[in-house]
Structure 1
Amino acid sequence: MTSSGSRTVRLTVAQALVRFLAAQYSERDGVERRLVPGIFGIFGHGNVAGVGQALLQAQVQAEESGGGDSVTARPVTDPASGELPYYMARNEQGAVNAAAAFAKTTNRLQALAVTASIGPGSTNMITGAALATTNRLPVLLLPSDIFATRYPDPVLQQLEDPRTLDISVNDAFKPVSRYWDRINRPEQLVPSALAAMRVLADPAETGAVTICLPQDVQAEAFDWPEEFFRKRVWHVARPVPEPAALDRALAVIASAKKPLVVAGGGVIYSGASEALREFATATGIPVADTQAGKGAINWDHRCAVGGVGSTGNSAANTLAREADVVIGIGTRYSDFTTASHTIFANPDVRFVNVNVVPFDAAKHSATMLVADAGEALSALQAGLDGFRVEESYAQRAVDLDAEWQKVVDECYHRDQTPLPAQTEVFGALNELMGEDDVVINAAGSMPGDLQCLWRASTPEQYHLEYAYSCMGYEIPAAMGVRMAKGEQGQVVAIVGDGTYQMLPMEIATIVAERLKVIFVLLQNHGFASIGALSESRGSQRFGTKYRMRNEQTGRLDGENIPFDLAANAASWGAQVLTCHGMDEFRENYRRAEGMDGPVVLYIETDLYGPNPPGSAWWDVPVSQVSELESTQLASKEYEEEKAAQRHYL
């Protein structure tokens, strides 16, 4: 008993944390769900006897009580036992990537935890933490830490700093986390855990949440108040527009002759796609999308004009250049969306930004509307009752999009031999996949092709991680998406040979969890995106092909490296179907749909494309001084393009 008379239970810090997490719920629109329904991890000496023991104990207790859901890979939704299902990843970064993809698929209403051992195990998670925070996705990271007592000092894998004994490698998580704490005494867990849950459930502040756990503290016993373990429901807010701010936004939009909506990921996370469609239908305002926002409005809606920015299409980018008012909804305006501050070219352009994050709402000197996307769209539509763009402008958007769709059809059906362009693979997938299926990608030349070509029918269909554009994301992300979707639809990850080599080992985790995923593995023997960028910037594709060292030149420009990625995928336990050409690819995709477990469709594509025609710029500086003629020419072109760059003031 404590001095206040409340009941206590004696548990270790790790046991208390597991029990606490099992009792946390999120709620939005009246629906409750487990906030942290499972945990990824890899055990080492830093956490195997702390968090590892706590997870084992919870699982054994769940089995004895008949509760839990550990026989399936789908995280539990409401276990009476207090179990926190455990999933063994093969790489700590892969585990965080999977957790981020899970959170994205659940519209940020749930977050998986990830535990790692001290030192390299924990620092492996830093890249994943940066990905989650950059993408505004909730993940809970539990890195093990040095001894709080400092008796074993330095402990194995400890970084020593001669300035202070109070720094460990886990301090590196601070700049990439939205919340960070270190538990040096058991009682510190109570306020820290509560603060962590608040950030995980906050749509504006969310990202990586890091609670560092010294390995001795994990195993330390403490008398915890039972109230700490009661069920808690964290309500995910839908902030409504402030009336005066709404009036200001309405005044700007009503004055527009050529308004354009830029729909970002916030529309999808809010579940506001229907509200966006209704707003566009009522006002006639064209709607462009970002990578995160693709599918927020169905591609065949009369007002939909597709991707905008550096990797956007000519229809959306033409309208962006002419727009006098840009209505950004749930977008953070990355450099790809603004084409490095060149695409919104109207000298009198003004911005109205709807966002739950004031930091993003204020960008480009905008008229700010800090609110939930769905609430804001409903309020804007009501306030604009009777407003509609001129029919000539609405028809111009329709005509521009129709012209672009002809380009899409050309890119999808090139019938190129002997090796197809990757756009033909995308076209086949776009035609074969259903509305409940999900396509996943993150890095290389593929996100650019997909943004301007993919015809997304639903908000769930298009899963691109392009805020951090992290190579190696796709394979673990497919695991996270499948865990979030259960058995619904197909999960298809498109993986280039470059990104495949980063994190292929999570295929083994997917096999172990008996998850159905289809991987489309494109082999073109090089980095297609960076190779093309290198060539356009005068660097002649240097260092971007997978080649043997040439004994004559001393460079990596010899014959192809004789690796076999199809055999490698099979070695992890996946079923592999090799595709020779597009007809066989289509046949094998249909076969893969009916197969159990992970299936890899392996196909070779042309390194040189062709890719879709570009219609915007991206700022990648070129050497101002060079002895190479190719670089000199690129530098001149760069300065000409850069002249259009501007601040939006």
Structure 2
Amino acid sequence: MGKLTMTVGQALVKFLDNQYVSFDGKEEKFVDGIFTVFGHGIVCGLGQALDENPGELKVYQGRNEQGMAHAAAGFAKQSNRRKIIACASSIGPGAANMVTAVADATANNVPLLVFTGDTFSTRQPDPVLQQIEQFHDATITTSDAFRPVSRYWDRVSRPEQLMTALLNAMRVLTDPEKAGGVCISLPQDVQGETFAFPDYYFKKRVHRIVRMNPDSYEIKDAVDLIRTKKKPMVIVGGGVRYSEAGEEVVKFCETYKIPFGETQSGKSAIPSSHPLNLGGVGVTGNSAANSIAAEADLIIGVGTRLTDFTTGSKELFRNKEAQFVLVNVSRYHAEKLDAFPVVADAKAGIQAILAGLNNSGYHSAYTTEIEEANLGWKKEMEYLTKAVFDENYESFVKAKEPGIEEEFVKATGGVITQTGALGIIREQIEKDAIVVGSSGSLPGDLQRMWTTDAKDSYHMEYGYSCMGYEIAAALGAKIAEPDRACYAMVGDGAFMMLHSEIATALQENKKITVLLFDNCGFGCINNLQMGKGMGSLATMFRYRDSATNKQDGRLITTDFAMIGRGYGMTTFTAKTNDELITALKEAKETDNSVLIDIKVLPKSMTADYGSWWHVGIGDSNTNQNIKAAYEDRQKHLENARMY
């Protein structure tokens, strides 16, 4: 056994450069590179190693630690979790900035590896710059904030600990069930310490992503249950995407005429045009999927966590005879809603169920319900995409703020409806383009309205609904698939929170197109508060009125195109449908990153379609609107499942 004497930083780089994954026999390099905002506590240790010999790892310069970590997560998701970009930060605010991104990755089962610089292991210079001193525990640092949001957390206090820490990190990052955020804390003095590492530690290491096969007894239970049901429905989750099980799900559904709906993560795993595809299901679902789900006597969930948005807070499946079969690599998720679990890879699980039903003579009892549901939604889609602002215009949402549309038009000149804009965008952009989204009203509109037959072209982060993910993740998706057009769908509120990685996109010559929907506020939450009986409070962007001392003055308008131009982007402002069409056409012709500032009318997003979402709301004896909302909540709870 040979020895290689090197610093901890050098050993870390050399190890990462030799990690590979294998899935269905295809071998790929796992770590593409490292995103970093160099600060003290990382620049002289790991930074030195990357400067001297990064190997094949690319070093990407982030602008904001949360942003660069979102970009890394977007890269991993668009790579179907088979490639990652690690992230490295300084010891204090730089590390803390990444906590949100790690939580986001963990919520979505997306592999994200972060290295946080840390205080000195020797404690000799304590307290160092950016250190938070705890009177009761000298071992606690900012890095400990990652413990509750990480799938795996470790601190390398001695050089030899690096070996087990990184091996454990790889174990978690390449596990389909456990993938999520991994945080390795690196005290700044330890990064520069030398150690005689065994040479075999740096050999090429291939991590096999294995398809988990189902247990035969669980398959029998699932098959026996399916055979007793007349109107089953499949829900396609993110596990179908990562398992690349779309064709198997289609074959299963076609064989037995079973319709299917999509979660945010599952959309684009199967073509939207398939006649059995009902589209988005749940709180942000459409009328077709939700009407079938309400009547279904069996829900077959494939690779879905069944969050409250998918289940309508467990109230959507209203058939009293409804039962569940859940195919998932995680037993925790497979046993939700008292389901018959099939703990397996999505592809392997569906194949086994299909084989178990073979020659059984089984067929669903659907006649024309699926076609009628899809036809009804098609008509609604035509209405939504053609909606224009005129004397007959009415907002689509129930939570109406009188006069807001006219006020917006006067302030901005914008007369585009949000649903109309989505129709125009879908018509104008490349058919295989990747669209990235995350927060606000856009995820609901997109899950309902976005159609695509291009595989893995719908990139939505909605497990954490993280404002600020959109632009950064679009950069990550573009790095993952540089030959595909990539569009970030972002609201004005989320844009204001985080758009710093535009600079990195320009630096790396990775063209992204930012479609910025400006409605002068946090429109989604404004709808929520007003729909539950409240007034419009601190959600629309308004000046404070000196007479009332409230934020109820005139609307605040922002020239977002000017911000884009300041970065060096090609920019457009679209206030009408024709201007939006022209901007989209010209945007496709430029090699530069683009920002289109789309002035969209408030209240012009889609409404609910037969679903309910449980949010905390108190009773009121003084506000009748709130009292009515509370009573409606209690009514829905009577029909909702409790576990």
TM range (shorter): over 0.9
- Give 4+ residue runs of structure 1 displaced > 6 Å after superposition: none
Residue matched to 1:213: 186
Shift of 1:387: 5.4
Secondary structure at 2:310 match in 1: coil
Change (3 A) 1:149 1:252: same
Change (3 A) 1:105 1:610: closer
Secondary structure at 2:170 match in 1: helix
Residue matched to 2:445: 449
1:45 to 35, 40, 49: 40
Residue matched to 2:595: 600
- Within 2, Cα distance between the matches of 1:354 and 1:613? 28
Residue matched to 1:198: 171
- Within 2, Cα distance between the matches of 1:298 and 1:626? 50
Residue matched to 1:522: 517
- Within 2, Cα distance between the matches of 1:302 and 1:629? 45
1:469 to 465, 473, 479: 465
Residue matched to 1:361: 334
Residue 500 of structure 2 aligns to which amino acid in structure 1?
M
Shift of 1:83: 2.9
Matched, 1:427 2:423: yes
- Within 2, Cα distance between the matches of 1:426 and 1:332? 28
Q: Which string of whole-angstrom CA distances, capped at 9 and with x for unpartnered residues, describes residues 492-539 of structure 1? A: 111110000011111111111111111111111011100000101111
| Residues 416 and 575, structure 2, Cα contact 8 Å, conserved in 1 | no
| Residues 435 and 461, structure 1, Cα contact 8 Å, conserved in 2 | no
- Within 2, Cα distance between the matches of 1:165 and 1:106? 40
Deviates more, 1:338-347 or 1:583-592: 583-592
Matched, 1:380 2:376: no
Shift of 1:384: 1.5
- Within 2, Cα distance between the matches of 1:410 and 1:392? 31
| Residues 22 and 83, structure 1, Cα contact 8 Å, conserved in 2 | yes
Where does the alignment leave 5 or more consecutive residues of structure 2 unmatched? Answer: 391-413
1:427-576 mapped onto 2 (5 Å cutoff): 427-486=423-482, 488-576=483-571
1:234 to 194, 198, 207: 207
Residue matched to 1:69: none
Secondary structure at 2:521 match in 1: coil
| Residues 530 and 541, structure 1, Cα contact 8 Å, conserved in 2 | no
Change (3 A) 1:386 1:267: same
- Within 2, Cα distance between the matches of 1:500 and 1:145? 31
1:319-330 mapped onto 2 (5 Å cutoff): 319-330=292-303
Residue matched to 1:151: 124
Shift of 1:599: 0.4
Residue matched to 1:287: 260
| Residues 514 and 596, structure 2, Cα contact 8 Å, conserved in 1 | yes
Residue matched to 1:74: none
Q: Which string of whole-angstrom CA distances, capped at 9 and with x for unpartnered residues, describes residues 186-214 of structure 1? A: 00011111111111111011101111000
Secondary structure at 1:478 match in 2: helix
- Within 2, Cα distance between the matches of 1:562 and 1:434? 31
TM-score by length of 1: 0.93
Identity of aligned residues (%): 41
Residue matched to 1:78: none
TM-score by length of 2: 0.94
1:289-368 mapped onto 2 (5 Å cutoff): 289-368=262-341
1:7 to 2, 16, 30: 2
Secondary structure at 1:223 match in 2: strand
Secondary structure at 1:38 match in 2: strand
Secondary structure at 2:571 match in 1: strand
- Within 2, Cα distance between the matches of 1:549 and 1:389? 65
Where does the alignment leave 5 or more consecutive residues of structure 1 unmatched? Answer: 1-5, 60-81
- Within 2, Cα distance between the matches of 1:584 and 1:547? 26
Shift of 1:635: 2.1
Shift of 1:390: 5.4
- Within 1, Cα distance between the matches of 2:100 and 2:265? 20
- Within 2, Cα distance between the matches of 1:260 and 1:389? 14
| Residues 384 and 419, structure 2, Cα contact 8 Å, conserved in 1 | yes
Matched, 1:638 2:633: yes
Q: Which string of whole-angstrom CA distances, capped at 9 and with x for unpartnered residues, describes residues 9-47 of structure 1? A: 221101100010000001101111111111101011111
Report the RMSD for the aligned CA atoms in angstroms: 1.4
Secondary structure at 2:641 match in 1: coil
Matched, 1:163 2:158: no
Q: Which string of whole-angstrom CA distances, capped at 9 and with x for unpartnered residues, describes residues 464-507 of structure 1? A: 10000000110101100000002x22101111100000111111
Shift of 1:416: 2.8
Shift of 1:293: 0.7
- Within 2, Cα distance between the matches of 1:591 and 1:239? 47
- Within 2, Cα distance between the matches of 1:610 and 1:93? 29
Residue matched to 2:406: none
- Within 2, Cα distance between the matches of 1:37 and 1:84? 6
| Residues 303 and 394, structure 1, Cα contact 8 Å, conserved in 2 | no
- Within 2, Cα distance between the matches of 1:46 and 1:387? 64
Residue matched to 2:155: 182
1:99 to 69, 72, 85: 72
Deviates more, 1:601-610 or 1:42-51: 601-610
Residue 558 of structure 1 aligns to which amino acid in structure 2?
G
Shift of 1:143: 0.4
Residue matched to 2:248: 275
Residue 533 of structure 1 aligns to which amino acid in structure 2?
L
- Within 1, Cα distance between the matches of 2:525 and 2:511? 32
1:234-273 mapped onto 2 (5 Å cutoff): 234-273=207-246
Residue matched to 1:622: 617
Matched, 1:85 2:53: no
1:585 to 565, 577, 580: 580
Shift of 1:306: 1.0
Residue 524 of structure 1 aligns to which amino acid in structure 2?
N
Residue matched to 1:68: none
Residue matched to 2:96: 123
| Residues 574 and 599, structure 1, Cα contact 8 Å, conserved in 2 | yes
Aligned length: 620
Change (3 A) 1:626 1:157: farther
- Within 2, Cα distance between the matches of 1:410 and 1:83? 52
Shift of 1:386: 4.1
Change (3 A) 1:626 1:138: farther
Shift of 1:627: 2.8
Residue 23 of structure 1 aligns to which amino acid in structure 2?
N
Shift of 1:121: 0.4
Deviates more, 1:218-227 or 1:410-419: 410-419
| Residues 429 and 584, structure 2, Cα contact 8 Å, conserved in 1 | no
| Residues 579 and 602, structure 1, Cα contact 8 Å, conserved in 2 | yes
Residue 89 of structure 1 aligns to which amino acid in structure 2?
G
- Within 2, Cα distance between the matches of 1:325 and 1:452? 22
Residue 498 of structure 1 aligns to which amino acid in structure 2?
G
| Residues 288 and 306, structure 1, Cα contact 8 Å, conserved in 2 | yes
Residue 269 of structure 1 aligns to which amino acid in structure 2?
Y
- Within 1, Cα distance between the matches of 2:250 and 2:444? 25
Change (3 A) 1:388 1:284: farther
